[in-house]
């Protein structure tokens, strides 16, 4: 065995190829396998971050600071519409509650006056301008009630405090708590979303794309996971590049989510290319590192020839490389590659 390896090394150093007979190949236990030509139909890997679609999500914010008192539903919990998710202490909501009560009382009085003024106008006792003034006052107070009520609706809070300045925050929709407080005592910052309830069936992925590839991404292109399984399609592509991370982005709708997909987590993804190219599918065992390059060994009539390969995509048991230098008849070493790699010590090649 030592004499065979020595002969291989001498041959490799001299000619840039490894000369071996069929008998030697069989004795060492080297195995070869045919390559497979495939269409290179994807780009990547890219990093995609999962999140629930905003189309069927409700986000909660406040215009002033508040404090979480207690939590009934934590992130990941399912909720029904109207269920209490948490309770918060908010001076702003307390002031708005008092203001709403006062405006509603004024509105009730204004409506009585407007009703009387309308009767007097119809009887010819009151002028049209005076009657309209009463009606306008009612309209103004109704708009104010709607504006104050909107504050509570935006916050998802009850209009009346349950105790002191504590307000119950209720789910605006059925779904899953995709973002929310974990325990009482947490601070809620002004204008920063502190709670989000989403439809768990509507999962998206924001995929970071290098600037040189963003023009190749098309709306409707299929998106695959690292194992080649189609999981969704692109629904939008950014028209510009984010200066902060020097990346473009594409949003994919995940139609076939894996059980491991969770909002806020990331995964490798591949996007179908607009123009297909030719790739070669090699066994993973046929590719190795040599002097910081990926190489494989191609079977020749006299032995083996080392070849640098450019990996395009990884699969579970195979790897896709550019087709340059391969033919449909090419065969690569799939077993015993360590022996051949040892024969290349001290040799450079293309």
Residue 335, in any domain of the structure: yes
Question: What average pLDDT score do residues 107-129 get?
Answer: 90
pLDDT at 10 over 50: no
pLDDT, tens digit, for every residue of 171-203? 999 999 999 999 999 999 999 999 999 998 899
Of 235, 257, 275, the residue that ends a domain is: 275
Q: Are residue 106 and residue 192 in the same domain, yes or no?
A: yes
pTM: 0.59
Q: Are residue 189 and residue 81 in the same domain, yes or no?
A: yes
Burial 118-137 (b: 16+ CB within 10 A, else e): eeebeeeebeeeebeebbeb
- Number of structural domains found in the chain: 3
- The domain of 318 spans 2-40+277-343
pLDDT, tens digit, for every residue of 301-319? 989 999 999 988 787 788 8
């Amino acid at each position: 065995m030592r004499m065979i390896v020595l002969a291989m090394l001498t041959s490799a150093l001299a000619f840039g190829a490894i000369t071996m007979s069929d008998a030697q190949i069989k004795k060492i236990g080297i195995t070869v396998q045919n390559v497979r030509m495939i269409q290179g139909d994807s780009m990547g890997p890219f990093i995609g971050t999962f999140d629930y679609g905003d189309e069927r999500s409700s986000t909660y914010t406040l215009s002033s600071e508040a404090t979480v008192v207690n939590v009934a539903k934590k992130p990941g919990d399912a909720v029904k519409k109207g269920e209490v998710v948490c309770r918060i202490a908010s001076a702003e909501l307390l002031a708005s509650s008092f203001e709403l009560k006062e405006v509603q009382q004024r509105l009730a009085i204004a409506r009585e006056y407007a009703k009387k003024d309308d009767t007097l106008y119809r009887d010819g006792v009151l002028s049209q301008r005076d009657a309209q003034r009463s009606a306008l006052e009612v309209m103004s107070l109704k708009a104010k009630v709607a504006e104050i009520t909107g504050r509570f609706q935006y916050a998802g809070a009850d209009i009346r405090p349950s105790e002191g300045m504590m307000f119950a925050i209720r789910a605006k929709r059925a779904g899953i708590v995709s973002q929310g407080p974990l325990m009482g005592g947490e601070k809620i910052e002004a204008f920063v979303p502190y709670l989000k309830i989403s439809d768990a069936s509507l999962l998206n992925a924001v995929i970071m794309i290098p600037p040189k590839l963003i023009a190749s991404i098309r709306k409707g292109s299929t998106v695959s996971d690292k194992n080649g399984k189609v999981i969704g399609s692109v629904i939008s592509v950014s028209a510009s590049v984010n200066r902060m991370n020097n990346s473009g982005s594409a949003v994919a709708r995940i139609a076939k989510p894996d059980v491991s997909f969770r909002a806020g987590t990331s995964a490798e993804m591949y996007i179908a290319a607009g123009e297909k190219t030719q790739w070669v599918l090699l066994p993973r065992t046929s590719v190795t590192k040599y002097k910081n390059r990926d190489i494989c060994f191609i079977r020749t009539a006299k032995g083996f020839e080392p070849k640098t390969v450019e990996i395009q995509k990884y699969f579970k048991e195979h790897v896709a490389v550019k087709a340059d230098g391969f033919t449909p008849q090419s065969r690569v070493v799939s077993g015993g590659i360590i022996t051949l790699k040892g024969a290349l010590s001290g040799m450079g090649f293309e």
